[in-house]
Structure 1
């Protein structure tokens, strides 16, 4: 199953896989008015014109490719404005805004490889981009200019651990995988495991008597999709005690009451229970698996986006990039 869209890590890998010296990293470093992409969005253009990433719905990509190939020949980085205020008067963004793009020819493959290695290890990373090229950093709290360098932070991909059985689990795991999340599906049903594995999704059988050998982190969401809620006796407390971005479980009113009683009996405090999504999802009382999957995944993605959006917006306002 092909993911829905290109991820930031995919763009870096496209640069790393380019023949030596035949790629340009393009980074969005300034916004005037509005922009379809956020500060720090990136695109990589190869010498043959092939590229990954975008900054609009297709309005300016051809011009960016042409500019990147010209800069690659010249061998010098530069910042180019597109849209409002640009010298290219025939190239405009439909939103009426302007964006400043930093073109970096021949980005250091060692810096890119180090960044990808940190992300693969589920650790935050960053690159600093300047006229001299790019360097890898362990992490950065905000996205924006720092001195003469532009800091572009990266966080590990969203990981979704979906536990359950039947159509609710299968639909949720497939939708999350299509979105591009790192999905781990856990089910007691061999048919669920086999079907998801055939679709390229990491699927593992589970036993209700013991938690799986997984470890959460700040970018991991746990969602329980059991209709037989006896499975939650072990798995839900295990998930809540893991480092996590989100923990949620489906179920009707009586199931929710029973669940909270069980968690209180196991010693969970009220702040933990208040953070727990009970029931999971944004759409109340969903009755079909596809809508349930959409409801649950949308809630998880909102939490993942909120985790980094505040810091990025603060950095942009500091350097005056938002009107």
Structure 2
């Protein structure tokens, strides 16, 4: 039996994959980790009846065996719990990290619940998926944390970090292309046609800026990062004035320390108070004085992810 047919499309989500395909599927969820682990509690993988799979729960050492047990779970029609590594009965399968991994296999997960979950994710609404260990019944709740609640496993799902990228020139286009390639939702907003064309060519959502304003219809939530890449710094104050009233967890603007100080003075004249100004980052990036667009893009993305990690998953 060939079980080595992964569907490893970059950034494909296993739950989305189940909803996108007809036929039987199994949702595999890591429900416990002992010691080091390649993937965290709550990580998911999908296995289909035609032996294809989406996602990974290890560095590649157990996926074939998970697929085998998943097909067995489809035949049994009920959830199956599997243990790998430390304390596992499968002594011939070793985890390179030396830890232990508990995985729950859910045959034919309730698609109506998964569709409601997908809609909440589309609307960027945090929620918790509750899964019964005994019969695989699913329900959605507003609150709750990832982990066991008696015989129910809870999977907390929060929106991906979303990037609103404002700017003109190679820095804006390169940064938007980087976050797009990494699979983060993003919008590139620019007054420059060439910048917008560059972004569109790399798959980014784009929007033309026709005035020096923060578009009123842009939805900003606590999982949004707002980054400005303008050499023409007079675009910044009116955009940042509204950005600083938003719940975005990261707001930053390209430029030197001198540009930052000038920008802050202009924002003060617009009535932005010092507490709000302290939210504004600049110069941006972990590597100060980056001299090319690629280095700057990587440096800024690293800083944003560092801030997100410090702030917590629902910042």
Residue 6 (1) aligns with residue 5 (2)? no
In structure 2, what is the equivalent of residue 135 of structure 1? 138
Residue 217 (1) aligns with residue 218 (2)? no
Residue 106 (1) aligns with residue 108 (2)? yes
CA drift of 1:77 comes to 0.7
Identify the match of residue 157 of structure 2 among 150, 154, 157. 154
Structure 2 unmatched ranges of 5 or more: 1-7
Structure number with higher helix proportion: 1
TM-score, normalising length from structure 1?
A: 0.90
In structure 1, what is the equivalent of residue 244 of structure 2? 240
In structure 2, what is the equivalent of residue 174 of structure 1? 177
- Residues 138 and 308 of structure 1, relative CA distance in 2, 3 Å threshold: farther
SS in 1 for 2:264: helix
Alignment deviations for residues 178-232 of structure 1 (CA, whole Å, 9 cap, x no partner): 0111110011111111232233211111134332231211111100000111111
Alignment deviations for residues 260-285 of structure 1 (CA, whole Å, 9 cap, x no partner): 21222223233322222122211111
Task: State which drifts further: 125-134 or 246-255.
Answer: 125-134
Alignment deviations for residues 107-165 of structure 1 (CA, whole Å, 9 cap, x no partner): 00001000000010111122111122142314334211112101101112221010011
Residue 302 (1) aligns with residue 306 (2)? yes
Conserved 8 A contact 2:131-2:152: yes
Compute the RMSD of aligned alpha carbons.
Answer: 1.9
Residue 164 (1) aligns with residue 167 (2)? yes
- Residues 149 and 306 of structure 1, relative CA distance in 2, 3 Å threshold: farther
- Residues 187 and 194 of structure 1, relative CA distance in 2, 3 Å threshold: same
Task: State which drifts further: 239-248 or 260-269.
Answer: 260-269
Q: Which has the higher contact order (CA 8 A, sep 6+)?
A: 1
Alignment deviations for residues 220-253 of structure 1 (CA, whole Å, 9 cap, x no partner): 1100000111111211112111221210011112
Residue 144 (1) aligns with residue 147 (2)? yes
Identify the match of residue 257 of structure 2 among 236, 242, 253. 253
How many pairs were matched up? 306
